[in-house]
Amino acid sequence: MCYHVVVKNSTLSNKVILPAPLAGWTDYAMRAVLVECGAREVWTEMINATALVRGNAKTIAMLKPVADKTVRQVVQLFGWEPTDFVSVINSGLLKDYAEVNLNMGCPAPKIIKNHCGCNLMRHVDDARRLIELCRTATNQTHQALSVKMRLGWDCDVAVEFARMCEKAGVDRLIVHGRLGIDGYRGTADYAGIARVKAAVKIPVIANGDVRDHASYEKCLAETGADGVMVGRALCGAPWKINLDDSVPTYERIVALMQLQKKLHNGNPSDLIKHWLSYQKQLKKYYPDQPVPVL
Protein backbone atom coordinates (compact mmCIF):
# COMPACT_ATOMS: atom_id res chain seq x y z
CA MET A 1 0.00 0.00 0.00
CA CYS A 2 1.23 3.46 -0.90
CA TYR A 3 1.46 5.98 1.92
CA HIS A 4 1.54 9.70 1.37
CA VAL A 5 3.52 11.62 3.91
CA VAL A 6 2.08 15.02 4.68
CA VAL A 7 4.20 15.88 7.69
CA LYS A 8 7.08 18.16 6.88
CA ASN A 9 8.42 19.38 10.21
CA SER A 10 8.03 16.36 12.41
CA THR A 11 10.89 14.87 14.34
CA LEU A 12 9.08 11.56 13.88
CA SER A 13 9.43 11.11 10.15
CA ASN A 14 7.41 9.19 7.60
CA LYS A 15 4.21 9.04 9.58
CA VAL A 16 0.94 9.75 7.85
CA ILE A 17 -1.61 12.26 9.05
CA LEU A 18 -5.08 11.50 7.78
CA PRO A 19 -8.17 13.69 8.03
CA ALA A 20 -10.95 11.73 9.77
CA PRO A 21 -14.38 11.05 8.32
CA LEU A 22 -16.78 13.44 10.07
CA ALA A 23 -20.49 13.19 9.29
CA GLY A 24 -21.91 16.59 8.40
CA TRP A 25 -18.41 18.02 7.99
CA THR A 26 -16.13 16.19 5.54
CA ASP A 27 -18.31 16.96 2.55
CA TYR A 28 -16.92 17.55 -0.93
CA ALA A 29 -16.09 21.20 -0.18
CA MET A 30 -14.22 20.45 3.04
CA ARG A 31 -12.27 17.69 1.34
CA ALA A 32 -11.24 20.15 -1.37
CA VAL A 33 -10.26 22.72 1.27
CA LEU A 34 -8.19 20.08 3.07
CA VAL A 35 -6.36 19.38 -0.19
CA GLU A 36 -5.77 23.12 -0.56
CA CYS A 37 -4.24 22.99 2.95
CA GLY A 38 -1.86 20.18 1.99
CA ALA A 39 -3.73 16.92 2.61
CA ARG A 40 -2.61 14.15 0.27
CA GLU A 41 -5.39 11.82 1.32
CA VAL A 42 -9.04 12.66 2.03
CA TRP A 43 -11.94 10.67 3.44
CA THR A 44 -15.64 10.98 2.81
CA GLU A 45 -17.93 10.98 5.79
CA MET A 46 -19.82 7.72 6.42
CA ILE A 47 -22.08 6.97 3.45
CA ASN A 48 -25.04 4.60 3.56
CA ALA A 49 -24.32 1.64 1.26
CA THR A 50 -28.01 0.75 0.93
CA ALA A 51 -28.97 4.31 -0.10
CA LEU A 52 -26.27 4.17 -2.79
CA VAL A 53 -27.60 0.87 -4.10
CA ARG A 54 -31.11 2.34 -4.22
CA GLY A 55 -29.82 5.25 -6.30
CA ASN A 56 -30.61 7.98 -3.75
CA ALA A 57 -29.44 11.14 -5.57
CA LYS A 58 -28.41 13.05 -2.43
CA THR A 59 -26.36 10.10 -1.20
CA ILE A 60 -24.69 9.63 -4.59
CA ALA A 61 -23.80 13.36 -4.59
CA MET A 62 -21.82 12.75 -1.37
CA LEU A 63 -19.40 10.68 -3.46
CA LYS A 64 -18.24 13.65 -5.54
CA PRO A 65 -14.45 13.24 -5.68
CA VAL A 66 -11.98 16.11 -5.32
CA ALA A 67 -10.62 17.25 -8.66
CA ASP A 68 -6.93 16.66 -7.90
CA LYS A 69 -6.40 13.08 -9.03
CA THR A 70 -3.00 12.89 -7.34
CA VAL A 71 -4.78 12.93 -3.97
CA ARG A 72 -5.61 9.54 -2.53
CA GLN A 73 -9.32 9.26 -1.79
CA VAL A 74 -11.04 6.95 0.67
CA VAL A 75 -14.77 6.29 0.80
CA GLN A 76 -16.30 5.19 4.08
CA LEU A 77 -19.40 2.99 3.93
CA PHE A 78 -21.83 1.99 6.63
CA GLY A 79 -24.87 -0.26 6.52
CA TRP A 80 -26.37 -3.51 7.74
CA GLU A 81 -26.76 -5.53 4.55
CA PRO A 82 -23.42 -6.96 3.31
CA THR A 83 -24.76 -7.63 -0.19
CA ASP A 84 -25.45 -3.89 -0.56
CA PHE A 85 -21.78 -3.14 0.14
CA VAL A 86 -20.81 -5.64 -2.53
CA SER A 87 -23.29 -4.18 -5.02
CA VAL A 88 -21.92 -0.67 -4.43
CA ILE A 89 -18.32 -1.81 -4.84
CA ASN A 90 -19.24 -3.65 -8.07
CA SER A 91 -21.34 -0.76 -9.38
CA GLY A 92 -18.48 1.50 -10.43
CA LEU A 93 -19.88 4.32 -8.25
CA LEU A 94 -16.69 4.20 -6.14
CA LYS A 95 -14.27 4.25 -9.06
CA ASP A 96 -12.51 7.46 -7.92
CA TYR A 97 -11.68 5.93 -4.56
CA ALA A 98 -8.47 4.01 -3.92
CA GLU A 99 -9.74 2.54 -0.68
CA VAL A 100 -13.04 1.40 0.78
CA ASN A 101 -13.33 1.80 4.55
CA LEU A 102 -15.92 -0.01 6.63
CA ASN A 103 -17.36 1.95 9.55
CA MET A 104 -17.28 -0.18 12.68
CA GLY A 105 -16.90 2.67 15.14
CA CYS A 106 -19.96 4.91 14.99
CA PRO A 107 -21.77 4.85 18.38
CA ALA A 108 -24.84 6.94 17.42
CA PRO A 109 -28.02 5.28 18.78
CA LYS A 110 -29.80 5.13 15.41
CA ILE A 111 -26.73 3.50 13.83
CA ILE A 112 -26.35 0.95 16.63
CA LYS A 113 -30.08 0.17 16.55
CA ASN A 114 -29.76 -0.70 12.85
CA HIS A 115 -26.87 -3.08 13.52
CA CYS A 116 -24.31 -0.77 11.88
CA GLY A 117 -21.17 1.02 13.05
CA CYS A 118 -19.75 0.01 16.43
CA ASN A 119 -22.48 -2.57 16.92
CA LEU A 120 -20.50 -4.80 14.58
CA MET A 121 -17.80 -4.98 17.26
CA ARG A 122 -20.37 -6.86 19.39
CA HIS A 123 -21.17 -9.24 16.54
CA VAL A 124 -17.83 -10.46 15.31
CA ASP A 125 -19.23 -13.11 12.94
CA ASP A 126 -21.29 -10.48 11.13
CA ALA A 127 -18.29 -8.14 10.97
CA ARG A 128 -16.13 -10.96 9.58
CA ARG A 129 -18.69 -11.85 6.92
CA LEU A 130 -18.97 -8.21 5.85
CA ILE A 131 -15.21 -7.87 5.60
CA GLU A 132 -14.78 -11.11 3.68
CA LEU A 133 -17.44 -10.21 1.13
CA CYS A 134 -16.02 -6.71 0.69
CA ARG A 135 -12.52 -8.17 0.39
CA THR A 136 -13.57 -10.41 -2.47
CA ALA A 137 -15.31 -7.48 -4.19
CA THR A 138 -12.44 -5.01 -3.71
CA ASN A 139 -9.97 -7.60 -5.01
CA GLN A 140 -11.90 -7.43 -8.29
CA THR A 141 -11.85 -3.61 -8.35
CA HIS A 142 -8.23 -3.39 -7.12
CA GLN A 143 -9.22 -1.18 -4.18
CA ALA A 144 -7.69 -1.33 -0.74
CA LEU A 145 -9.96 -2.28 2.16
CA SER A 146 -9.77 -0.95 5.69
CA VAL A 147 -11.80 -0.90 8.90
CA LYS A 148 -12.27 2.01 11.27
CA MET A 149 -12.95 0.61 14.73
CA ARG A 150 -13.00 1.54 18.38
CA LEU A 151 -11.60 -0.47 21.26
CA GLY A 152 -14.94 -2.23 21.60
CA TRP A 153 -18.53 -1.42 22.48
CA ASP A 154 -18.69 -1.79 26.29
CA CYS A 155 -15.41 -3.62 26.93
CA ASP A 156 -12.02 -3.73 25.24
CA VAL A 157 -12.04 -6.42 22.55
CA ALA A 158 -9.74 -4.50 20.24
CA VAL A 159 -6.89 -7.01 19.96
CA GLU A 160 -9.14 -9.97 19.08
CA PHE A 161 -11.20 -7.83 16.74
CA ALA A 162 -8.13 -6.41 14.99
CA ARG A 163 -6.69 -9.92 14.54
CA MET A 164 -9.99 -11.03 13.02
CA CYS A 165 -9.90 -8.05 10.61
CA GLU A 166 -6.34 -8.86 9.59
CA LYS A 167 -7.17 -12.50 8.99
CA ALA A 168 -10.25 -11.55 6.96
CA GLY A 169 -8.02 -9.56 4.60
CA VAL A 170 -8.13 -5.94 5.73
CA ASP A 171 -5.19 -3.82 4.49
CA ARG A 172 -5.07 -1.41 7.41
CA LEU A 173 -6.89 -0.48 10.58
CA ILE A 174 -7.83 2.88 12.01
CA VAL A 175 -8.34 2.62 15.76
CA HIS A 176 -10.19 5.24 17.77
CA GLY A 177 -9.04 4.72 21.34
CA ARG A 178 -12.43 4.78 23.03
CA LEU A 179 -15.26 2.38 23.67
CA GLY A 180 -18.53 2.86 21.82
CA ILE A 181 -20.43 3.56 25.04
CA ASP A 182 -17.98 6.38 25.82
CA GLY A 183 -18.97 8.36 22.72
CA TYR A 184 -16.45 11.20 22.71
CA ARG A 185 -16.11 11.53 26.50
CA GLY A 186 -12.88 11.24 28.43
CA THR A 187 -9.52 10.84 26.77
CA ALA A 188 -8.45 8.36 24.11
CA ASP A 189 -6.74 5.26 25.49
CA TYR A 190 -3.44 5.13 23.62
CA ALA A 191 -2.34 2.02 25.52
CA GLY A 192 -5.31 0.21 23.97
CA ILE A 193 -4.22 1.31 20.50
CA ALA A 194 -0.63 0.24 21.30
CA ARG A 195 -1.87 -3.28 22.11
CA VAL A 196 -3.54 -3.46 18.70
CA LYS A 197 -0.40 -2.20 16.97
CA ALA A 198 1.65 -4.90 18.71
CA ALA A 199 -0.86 -7.62 17.82
CA VAL A 200 -1.13 -7.22 14.04
CA LYS A 201 1.22 -6.85 11.08
CA ILE A 202 -0.96 -4.57 8.96
CA PRO A 203 -0.57 -0.78 9.41
CA VAL A 204 -2.43 0.74 12.33
CA ILE A 205 -3.49 4.38 12.33
CA ALA A 206 -4.15 5.87 15.77
CA ASN A 207 -7.11 8.15 16.31
CA GLY A 208 -8.41 10.26 19.16
CA ASP A 209 -7.54 13.64 20.65
CA VAL A 210 -4.77 14.58 18.21
CA ARG A 211 -5.09 18.32 17.69
CA ASP A 212 -1.60 19.86 17.52
CA HIS A 213 2.03 18.95 17.19
CA ALA A 214 2.50 17.98 20.85
CA SER A 215 -0.53 15.66 20.90
CA TYR A 216 0.59 14.17 17.59
CA GLU A 217 4.01 13.32 19.05
CA LYS A 218 2.44 11.95 22.23
CA CYS A 219 0.01 9.77 20.29
CA LEU A 220 2.73 8.29 18.08
CA ALA A 221 5.14 7.78 20.98
CA GLU A 222 2.52 6.02 23.13
CA THR A 223 0.86 3.92 20.43
CA GLY A 224 3.78 3.12 18.12
CA ALA A 225 1.22 3.52 15.31
CA ASP A 226 2.02 4.02 11.66
CA GLY A 227 0.23 7.34 11.54
CA VAL A 228 -2.52 9.38 13.08
CA MET A 229 -6.00 10.43 12.06
CA VAL A 230 -7.25 13.88 13.05
CA GLY A 231 -10.92 14.67 13.43
CA ARG A 232 -12.55 17.42 15.42
CA ALA A 233 -9.49 19.69 15.38
CA LEU A 234 -10.07 20.24 11.65
CA CYS A 235 -13.56 21.72 12.01
CA GLY A 236 -13.14 25.38 11.09
CA ALA A 237 -9.35 24.89 11.07
CA PRO A 238 -8.50 22.60 8.12
CA TRP A 239 -4.90 23.86 8.07
CA LYS A 240 -4.33 21.81 11.25
CA ILE A 241 -4.01 18.77 8.99
CA ASN A 242 -0.29 19.60 8.95
CA LEU A 243 -0.11 19.55 12.78
CA ASP A 244 2.75 22.04 12.65
CA ASP A 245 1.03 24.62 14.89
CA SER A 246 1.30 27.36 12.24
CA VAL A 247 -1.59 29.81 11.97
CA PRO A 248 -2.54 31.05 8.50
CA THR A 249 -2.86 34.77 7.83
CA TYR A 250 -6.25 36.42 8.17
CA GLU A 251 -6.48 36.69 4.38
CA ARG A 252 -5.71 32.98 3.95
CA ILE A 253 -8.42 31.91 6.41
CA VAL A 254 -10.95 34.15 4.64
CA ALA A 255 -9.88 32.64 1.29
CA LEU A 256 -10.44 29.11 2.68
CA MET A 257 -13.89 30.14 3.90
CA GLN A 258 -14.74 31.49 0.45
CA LEU A 259 -13.53 28.27 -1.17
CA GLN A 260 -15.67 26.23 1.22
CA LYS A 261 -18.69 28.37 0.29
CA LYS A 262 -18.01 28.25 -3.46
CA LEU A 263 -17.71 24.46 -3.55
CA HIS A 264 -20.51 23.63 -1.13
CA ASN A 265 -22.87 21.09 -2.70
CA GLY A 266 -24.65 19.68 0.34
CA ASN A 267 -27.11 20.61 3.03
CA PRO A 268 -27.26 24.45 3.53
CA SER A 269 -27.23 23.99 7.31
CA ASP A 270 -23.87 22.22 7.01
CA LEU A 271 -22.40 25.30 5.32
CA ILE A 272 -23.64 27.47 8.20
CA LYS A 273 -21.97 25.06 10.63
CA HIS A 274 -18.68 25.31 8.72
CA TRP A 275 -18.93 29.08 8.54
CA LEU A 276 -19.57 29.51 12.27
CA SER A 277 -16.60 27.37 13.13
CA TYR A 278 -14.31 29.33 10.78
CA GLN A 279 -15.60 32.53 12.35
CA LYS A 280 -14.66 31.19 15.77
CA GLN A 281 -11.09 30.62 14.59
CA LEU A 282 -10.90 34.11 13.08
CA LYS A 283 -12.13 35.69 16.33
CA LYS A 284 -9.54 33.66 18.25
CA TYR A 285 -6.54 34.57 16.11
CA TYR A 286 -7.59 37.94 14.67
CA PRO A 287 -9.97 39.53 17.24
CA ASP A 288 -9.53 43.02 15.74
CA GLN A 289 -10.35 42.04 12.16
CA PRO A 290 -13.84 41.92 10.64
CA VAL A 291 -15.54 38.52 10.48
CA PRO A 292 -16.96 37.81 7.01
CA VAL A 293 -20.66 37.03 6.90
CA LEU A 294 -22.10 34.20 4.83
Ligand X SMILES: Cc1cc2nc3c(=O)[nH]c(=O)nc-3n(C[C@H](O)[C@H](O)[C@H](O)COP(=O)(O)O)c2cc1C
- Smallest distance from ligand X to CB 40, Å: 18
Member of 208, 227, 236, 238 binding ligand X (CB under 6 A): 208
Nearest to ligand X of 228, 254 (CB atom):
228
Does 207 sit near ligand X (CB under 6 A)? yes
Does 105 sit near ligand X (CB under 6 A)? yes
Does 99 sit near ligand X (CB under 6 A)? no
Enumerate residues 165-184 that contact ligand X by CB under 6 A.
176, 184
Does 209 sit near ligand X (CB under 6 A)? yes
- Smallest distance from ligand X to CB 101, Å: 8
Contacts of 2 (CB under 8 A, 6+ apart): 72
Between CA 263 and CA 64 the distance in angstroms is 11
38, burial (CB in 10 Å: exposed 0-12, middle 13-18, buried 19+): middle
Member of 76, 143, 223, 242 binding ligand X (CB under 6 A): 76
Does 22 sit near ligand X (CB under 6 A)? yes
Enumerate residues 31-50 that contact ligand X by CB under 6 A.
45-46
Count of residues in contact with ligand X, rule CB under 6 A:
23
Member of 7, 17, 18, 20 binding ligand X (CB under 6 A): 20
Q: Which of 2, 37, 106, 165 is catalytic?
A: 106
The reply to whether 106 belongs to the active site is yes
Between CA 293 and CA 177 the distance in angstroms is 37
- Smallest distance from ligand X to CB 249, Å: 25
Contact map string, positions 116 to 145, toward ligand X, x by CB under 6 A: ------------------------------
- Smallest distance from ligand X to CB 178, Å: 7
Enumerate residues 228-247 that contact ligand X by CB under 6 A.
230-233
Return the residue nearest ligand X (CB atom).
Answer: 231
Residues that bind ligand X (CB under 6 A): 20-25, 45-46, 76, 103, 105-106, 148, 176, 184, 207-210, 230-233
Q: Catalytic residue numbers? A: 106
